[in-house]
Amino acid sequence: MDTESAPTNLSPLKVEPDNIDFGCLRPGKSESATIRVSGGPGTAVAPNDQLMIVPSNFSSEDTELRVTLSGGSAGELIWDTIVLKGNKEELSVLVTGRWEEQKMSPQEAILTKEEAKPLPSVPVERKFKGRKCNRCWKNFKYDEDSHSWEQCHCGPHQVIINMSRHIITELRSGINYLPLAAKETWNVMLGRQKW
C-alpha cells in the first residue's frame, strides 16, 4: 500500500508592524518597542549591537518580541534591519532612530511626584478681605464681630476723581486700537468690507 505523506501546512512568515521608528531620542536614552511575529518556528537576528531582541526565537503562533534600542550619543543615527529567519523565508524589519539634544517640552518640565520636593508650609495671609464700592472703588472690610460690611461714605468729589481715573485708564488701553477701528469703520462705510 502506498502511503502518501500528509502535506505540512506551514503558514507564511508575518510581522506586524513591518518597521520600527524610534523617532528623536535624548542622548543616552534607551527605548523599546514590540513586534508580533507568526509563521515560525524561526529566529530573530539583529546585526547591530545597539539592538537587542527578547525572545530571539518565535513559533508558528503569534509571538511578541521586544526590541530594545540602547542609548546613543548626540547626532548618532540608526538605520538598520532586524532579520526574521523562518523555515522557508526571511523577513526584514527596518529600525530607525536618532539621538539629538532637545529643549525640554512643557510636559517634561513638570516634575513628577518622585522628583518634586514638598513646599514648606507657610501661612498665607490675605491682605484684603472684602469687596469694592462700585462708585468709588474703595475697599470695604467685613466686620466679623457685627457680621456686616463696612459702609462706603464716598462724597461726590471722590466719585468724580475715581470715575475720571477709571475712564483715563480705559482710554489709554484702548487708544492703541483706535486707528484700526477707524480704518475698519471707514472701509465698512465705503462698502469695501462687510461689518
In angstroms, the first-to-last Cα distance of the chain is 97
| Residue 176, pLDDT score | 67
| Residue 66, pLDDT score | 92
d(CA 20, CA 77): 14
Lowest mean pLDDT among 109-113, 149-153, 180-184: 109-113
149 in a structural domain = yes
Q: Are residues 93 and 143 in the same domain?
A: no
84 in a structural domain = yes
**DSSP-assigned letter for residue 147:** T
| Residue 40, pLDDT score | 77
Domain total for the chain?
A: 2
Q: What is the pLDDT of residues 103-146, one digit of tens each?
A: 666 555 555 545 556 666 766 665 555 677 766 667 777 777 77
82 and 45 in contact (C-beta within 8 Å)? yes
Q: Are residues 95 and 134 in the same domain?
A: no
Quick one: average pLDDT of 51-63? 87
58 in a structural domain = yes
Whether the link from the prior residue into 17 is cis, omega within 30° of 0, is yes
Q: Which among 159, 24, 190, 169 is positioned nearest to 97, based on CA atoms?
A: 24
**Strand 90-99 and strand 51-54: pairing?**
unpaired
Q: Which domain holds residue 155?
A: 130-190
Residue where a domain stops, chosen among 59, 78, 99: 99
Q: Supply the pTM of this predicted model.
A: 0.47
Radius of gyration of the chain (CA): 37
Q: Which among 96, 109, 110 is positioned nearest to 24, based on CA atoms?
A: 96
Q: What is the pLDDT of residues 30-41, one digit of tens each?
A: 899 999 998 878
| Residue 1, pLDDT score | 45
What 3-state DSSP class applies to 48?
A: coil
